[in-house]
Amino acid sequence: MSLIMTAIAKNIKVALLQFYAGANKAENIKKATDFATKALKQHPDLDLLVLPECFNSPYAVDQFRKYSESIPDGETTKALSQFAKEHGVNVIGGSFPELGDDGNVYNTSLSFDKTGKIVAKHRKVHLFDIDIPGKMTFKESSSLHSGNKATVFDLPGLGRFGLAICYDIRFPELAMIASRSGAGIMCYPGAFNTVTGPRFWTKFGVARAIDNQAYVILCSPARNPNGGYQAYGHSMVVDPNGDVVVEAGHNEQIVYAELDPSVEKDARTAIPLSTQRRFDIYHDVSVDAKKGAL
């Protein structure tokens, strides 16, 4: 399939909400809607709001079950759906711990259209299990279960998106599947830390953008001055040429960007990767994904 045509329907005005979560779940949800309200007050014509990973709970393996909730009946889902509907804005709702019908806990991201309808649900596929001697050990799999699908979805009037979470960005296949399924934007709510963030965060955003000639959105929590897991911050948007359009610092803030479909079209026309791939030599990973539920 050739993707030289534009995969983004229009210029998209987006806000990335970078804030940290404390111990009080209700206060965390209120902070999310307060930041969203502030963004819309500053820019009433926003098309899309993006929240960070684990925005309603501390990012701690021993806390995920405590903060988990069912979908669609949980308070976090209801709050985001109501906000999207009341303000007529699309929302990519970061992620939060989901209590599945199977009793397992997942790191889950929901996306909502302007009517408040859930249009996408992604469970983090690759769990963050690392051991960097003398620096950091973290094992999400001790309390979380992994998702089992790639996530590609449409937001009416905006275009097609791919969605994944944090550590998923290290595995290029999910972005490849999204791009080859017609997505022009890949979104990663993520909470890289102060060890891995400075070394890898920007590199992965740029790599996924260049590989797929798509916009990449990375939305992180802010650094938490009260201690605990320290997110890297630096929420950013990378364009299809690998250029960083906007980048936050590490404190709480909102950053804004406009995604221009002509940038995507020009990148894909000048260097037509979509027509030059050699699937006679290597496998197209999107084929098998399309047989399942994207």
Domains by residue range for the chain, with CATH: 12-291 (3.60.110.10)
* Interval 82-104: pLDDT, tens: 999 999 999 999 999 999 999 99
Which structure tokens are listed for 30? 């209120």
Instruction: Identify the pLDDT of residue 181.
Output: 93
Q: What is the mean pLDDT of residues 258-274?
A: 95
Instruction: Identify the pLDDT of residue 290.
Output: 72
Residues of the chain with pLDDT > 90: what percent? 85
CB 134, CB 121: distance < 8 Å: no
Q: How far apart are CA 289 and CA 233, in angstroms?
A: 31
Instruction: Identify the pLDDT of residue 142.
Output: 87
Angle between the N-to-C axes of helices 25-42 and 75-87, in degrees from 0 to 180, rounded to the nearest 10? 10
Q: How confident is the model at residue 34 (pLDDT cuts 50, 70, 90)?
A: very high
Q: Which residues are catalytic?
A: 53, 124, 166
Instruction: Identify the pLDDT of residue 249.
Output: 98
Check residues 183 and 137 and name the one with the higher pLDDT: 183
Instruction: Identify the pLDDT of residue 209.
Output: 98
Q: How confident is the model at residue 243 (pLDDT cuts 50, 70, 90)?
A: very high
Work out the mean pLDDT of the chain and round it to a whole number: 94
Which residue matches tokens 């994207």?
A: 294
Q: What is the mean pLDDT of residues 231-246?
A: 98
Asked whether residue 171 carries a pLDDT value surpassing 50, the answer given is yes
* Interval 48-71: pLDDT, tens: 999 999 999 999 899 999 999 999
Check residues 137 and 200 and name the one with the higher pLDDT: 200
Instruction: Identify the pLDDT of residue 3.
Output: 41
Closest CA to 21 of 10, 13, 12, 30: 30
Instruction: Identify the pLDDT of residue 228.
Output: 87
Instruction: Identify the pLDDT of residue 137.
Output: 74
Q: How far apart are CA 232 and CA 221, in angstroms?
A: 8
For residue 187, give every residue at least 6 positions away whose Cβ sits within 8 Å of its Cβ, in sequence order, or none.
Answer: 50, 92, 161, 162, 163, 164, 216, 217, 219
Q: How confident is the model at residue 267 (pLDDT cuts 50, 70, 90)?
A: very high
* Residue 74: count of CB within 10 angstroms of its CB: 17
Asked whether residue 6 carries a pLDDT value surpassing 70, the answer given is no
Q: How confident is the model at residue 1 (pLDDT cuts 50, 70, 90)?
A: very low
Residues of the chain with pLDDT > 70: what percent? 96
Model confidence, pTM? 0.94
Instruction: Identify the pLDDT of residue 2.
Output: 41
* Interval 35-54: pLDDT, tens: 999 999 999 999 999 999 99
Asked whether residue 78 carries a pLDDT value surpassing 70, the answer given is yes
Give the torsion sign (CA, 7, 119, 186, 86).
positive
Instruction: Identify the pLDDT of residue 4.
Output: 42
Instruction: Identify the pLDDT of residue 10.
Output: 95
Q: How confident is the model at residue 292 (pLDDT cuts 50, 70, 90)?
A: low
**Which residues sit opposite 14 in a β-bridge?**
48, 257
